[in-house]
Amino acid sequence: MTYEPAANRYDKMEYRRCGNSGLKLSAFSLGLWHNFGTNSDFENSRNLIKTAFDNGITHFDLANNYGPPPGSAETCLGKILKSDFKNYRDEMIISSKAGYTMWDGPYGDWGSKKYLISSLDQSLKRMDLEYVDIFYHHRPDPETPLEETMAALNLIVQQGKALYVGISNYRPAEAEKAFKILKEMGTPCLIHQPKYSMFERWVEDGLLDLLGKEKVGCIPFSPLAQGLLTDKYLNGIPADSRVATSGQFLKADHITPERIEKIMALNDIAKERGQKLAQMALAWILRDERVTSVLIGSSKPAQILDSIKALENTNFSSEELDNINSILK
């Protein structure tokens, strides 16, 4: 059966202008970091993309190394685009990144022009696309001159392999330098992708102010702190949780009694707001107008629908914000 997206899909979502550009992004973007590798159920992956698109999510975020194994998330999306989205490519924003280890040897990591150009060529082949909408440098490289890395991003746009470029995981001082170099080259930085959640707030120490001043979009990843800011861990560690099954990024020792106490107190505020804890955590990030979109990951279509409900209330009273800050202290 041919996939027909929901006719009212654009009525269900909020769209925010990305920095000083003509591009608007859906308030939620779907990240393909997990659940799109070769070990994932393909039909479930397909349903996740369809559910997102049916509900107005237009932005799908990848990186060269997403899987496992690295590259397989892009291959998976390529198959889904071919089978279901041939007629809808122009309604989608597809992004990828390079900056972490992708292949062996000195040219498969970090930020050289050699690596970034080669990596994007591989990504485009895996997704069977002529271009991506956004291409990011995934992390700063301490050994490659920033001018070289930014020149690679500029070249990628000139070659028509990406429409826009962004950076990820850059601290304020590095980001400011990158913005200046790109602006001088005539390819302004569209967007910055930092880690940001109630439990990880380094972006508030200068980065958000910089993005506001420079008119660069912001798309936080890990907004639920790898699932900590959900009701999943209120009663200990469930057997099917990411901690129990992989423990690669979120480890059991992150879930201390003190952390659980904070999660429970935040959950009480969420209940008073008529939200689940995860919905409140997402709304808390979206309350800031400098945030363009929030990246959500999902293993089930129902989780996407649940996350989108956060848009029903992104306003916080000063009292609520004070209470949240005192819990997080």
The span from the CA of 212 to the CA of 216, in Å, is: 7
Q: What is the mean pLDDT of residues 202-215?
A: 98
- How far CA 145 is from CA of 149, 152, 235, 236, 299, in Å, comes to 7, 11, 48, 46, 39
Enclosing H/E stretch for 268: helix 257-272
Per-residue pLDDT, 25:
98
Per-residue pLDDT, 233:
84
In this predicted structure, the answer to whether residue 252 has a pLDDT above a threshold of 70 is no
Q: pLDDT band at residue 169, thresholds of 50, 70 and 90?
A: very high
In this predicted structure, the answer to whether residue 31 has a pLDDT above a threshold of 60 is yes
Cβ neighbours around 56 below 10 Å, total: 21
**∠ CA 154-134-37, rounded to 5°:** 125
Q: Are 165 and 249 in contact (CB under 8 A)?
A: no
The span from the CA of 267 to the CA of 252, in Å, is: 20
Q: What are phi and psi of 131, to 5 degrees?
A: -155, 160
What rounded mean pLDDT belongs to the chain? 95
Q: What is the mean pLDDT of residues 84-95?
A: 98
In this predicted structure, the answer to whether residue 244 has a pLDDT above a threshold of 60 is no
Per-residue pLDDT, 327:
98
Residue 258 lies in a domain: no
Q: pLDDT band at residue 247, thresholds of 50, 70 and 90?
A: low
Q: What is the mean pLDDT of residues 245-268?
A: 80
Per-residue pLDDT, 154:
98
Q: What is the mean pLDDT of residues 131-153?
A: 98
Q: What is the mean pLDDT of residues 283-289?
A: 98
Per-residue pLDDT, 101:
98
In this predicted structure, the answer to whether residue 68 has a pLDDT above a threshold of 80 is yes
- How far CA 153 is from CA of 106, 157, 202, 237, in Å, comes to 19, 7, 26, 42
In this predicted structure, the answer to whether residue 149 has a pLDDT above a threshold of 70 is yes
In this predicted structure, the answer to whether residue 249 has a pLDDT above a threshold of 70 is no
Enclosing H/E stretch for 132: strand 132-137
Per-residue pLDDT, 237:
72
Residue 40: domain span = 9-234+282-316
Residue 38 sits in a domain whose CATH number is 3.20.20.100
Q: pLDDT band at residue 255, thresholds of 50, 70 and 90?
A: confident
Which carries the bigger pLDDT value, residue 88 or residue 244? 88
Residue 324 lies in a domain: no
Which carries the bigger pLDDT value, residue 326 or residue 238? 326
The span from the CA of 270 to the CA of 283, in Å, is: 10
| Token reading at 249 | 């990024």
Per-residue pLDDT, 232:
87
Residue 273 lies in a domain: no
Q: What is the mean pLDDT of residues 164-175?
A: 98
Q: What is the mean pLDDT of residues 154-173?
A: 98
3-state secondary structure of 98: strand
Residue 215 lies in a domain: yes
The span from the CA of 275 to the CA of 280, in Å, is: 6
Per-residue pLDDT, 234:
85
Residue 143 lies in a domain: yes
Residue 251 lies in a domain: no
| Percent of the chain predicted with pLDDT > 90 | 91
In this predicted structure, the answer to whether residue 125 has a pLDDT above a threshold of 90 is yes
Residue 27 lies in a domain: yes
* Strands in 32-75 per DSSP E: 59-61
Residue 246 lies in a domain: no
Name the residue among 159, 175, 219, 171 with its Cα closest to residue 21: 219
- Cα 268 to chain centroid distance, Å, stands at 27
Name the residue among 260, 258, 255 with its Cα closest to residue 241: 255
Q: What is the mean pLDDT of residues 210-231?
A: 97
Structural domains in the chain (count): 1
Per-residue pLDDT, 118:
98
